Amino acid sequence: MISIRLISTLCIISLTMLAGCSDQKKKEVTSTLNWYVFNEPSGAFATAARNCSENSRNTYQIKLVPLPVDPDQQREQLVRRLAAGDQSIDIIGMDVIWTAEFAQAGWILPWRSEMKKEALAGRLSAPLQSVMYQDEMWGVPYTTNAQLLWYRTDRIKEAPATWDEMIHLAETLGESGIIQAQGERYEGLTAFFISLLATAGGSVLDTRHEKISLAQQPTLQALSTMARFANSSAADRTLSTTREDQARLAFETGHSSFMVNYTFVWSSIQQNAPGIAPHIGWARWPSLSKDKPGRTAIGGINLAVSAHSRYAQSAFQAAVCIASEQHQRIAATLGGLPPTIAALYDDTRIRETFPFADVLRATLRDAVQRPQTPLYNDVSLAISRTLHPMRNIEPDKDYIRLRDAISRALSSKGLL
């Protein structure tokens, strides 16, 4: 006869085995979602990944896979992996300028039905436009950005409304009248030109037909403004090698009175230049005429789902969670990344972080998309190579050169 002690022992063993099976089953249903995104230093992305993983009730775990800070290097790494059909990529932190290229290549999945409704809810229109291509939606807007004009209130009574006014004012200030801007041969120079062109009423492409636009009058006006600025005493001597971060650092020395740059400069100035921080004002990007506002090229990160993901449904759910109001608030207050949800610009905590929230929201309402074409990378290279350095721009000649370079880019000719 089996003893009671033996029965108890067998029961314990059986329960232990069942528990082990249960744990094994739990491990099997958990999907690891790899989120490829730039290495955000504040911890905002990591917090969103952790919260969403916990809220999924073990449906998925989000693992951050950091990409380089430089957008060109980010794109290079992703393109190589996606083109090779890498199944390890689930969620992509996608720069706003990659949408058409990634969608046309079949590397990302369209957003439809209920997931699309959740991704659309409450978003600003300009960030939403950045995830659209050929009447399909290819991501959820997560963070956004646009350039503002930053200036010294102890030197300037009122922010200049136009580029002509700003250049003239800077020249009258002498050595301290420097305007910091992005003039290196890279995407920042392309964005500078596109912003001026849009402000003048023009565009690079007729996006619907993906054909060259570049109307003569607004293009010449944009090129003339770039040439005048670059050859004035208001331009920093290092303009041709200046990116966003170099412009920020130069402005923080106190030797410049103006800067066009993204909102990340605000928290940096508070930390790195407390002596000049109380004297920093902000305004909309300067216009070309007082009757029309300045328009700037929109930036930001959208979340896309890889077409090669083995867990696409979970990836969609995770992306919606990451881009939720809660996590956009964290990205804004912790990481200084502006939200894409309109209501958050009235949120008390965000307005404390961004005292310029109203100006930024107004800027985003008028923000311009960079050309939405699968060949955008080639188009951008054509623009930056033709217009660098800015001081050598000859508007009439470079108008023709620019049209030719972009036409060749659209045919994938002569870029490498």
Res 412: pLDDT: 81
Q: Are residues 283 and 167 in the same domain?
A: yes
For residue 6, the model assigns a pLDDT of 43
Please measure the distance between the N-terminal and C-terminal CA atoms of the chain and give it in whole angstroms.
86
Same domain as 309, residue 223: no
- C-beta atoms surrounding 51 within 10 Å: 17
How many domains would you assign to the chain? Answer: 2
**Domain identity same for 135 and 60:** yes
User: What is residue 416's predicted lDDT score, i.e. its pLDDT?
Assistant: 41
Q: Which two tokens stand for residue 9?
A: 């022992």
- pLDDT at 16 (0 to 100): 44
Residues 133 and 155 in one domain: no
With b meaning 16 or more CB within 10 Å and e meaning fewer, what string describes 335-352?
Answer: bbbbbbbeebbebeebee
User: What pLDDT was estimated at residue 238?
Assistant: 98
The CATH number of whichever domain residue 156 belongs to comes to 3.40.190.10
Residue 208: the pLDDT is 74
Q: Same structural domain for residues 168 and 293? A: yes
pLDDT computed for residue 52 by the predictor: 98
Radius of gyration of the chain measured on its C-alpha atoms: 25
Do 241 and 334 belong together in one domain? no
**What burial letters (b/e) apply to 135-147, b meaning 16+ CB within 10 Å?**
eebbbbbbbbbbb
Q: What is the mean pLDDT of each run of 10 residues along the chain (416 residues)?
A: 46 44 47 97 97 95 95 95 98 98 98 90 96 96 98 97 98 97 98 98 86 96 98 98 98 98 96 97 97 96 98 97 98 97 98 98 97 96 98 98 96 62
Rounded to the nearest 5°, which phi and psi values hold at 70?
-70, 125
Q: Are 295 and 195 in contact (CB under 8 A)?
A: yes
- What pLDDT does 24 receive? 40
Domain that residue 326 falls in:
31-145+300-365
- Give pLDDT, residue 8: 47
pTM over 0.85: yes
Please check whether residue 13 lies inside any domain of the structure.
no
Residue 26 lies in a domain: no
CA-CA distance, 379 to 60, in Å (whole number)?
A: 39
| 283 in the same domain as 157 | yes
pLDDT at 86: 98
My answer on whether 321 and 391 are in the same domain is no
Phi/psi of residue 340, nearest 5 degrees: -100, -5
Q: 354 and 217 in one domain?
A: no
pLDDT of residue 39: 94
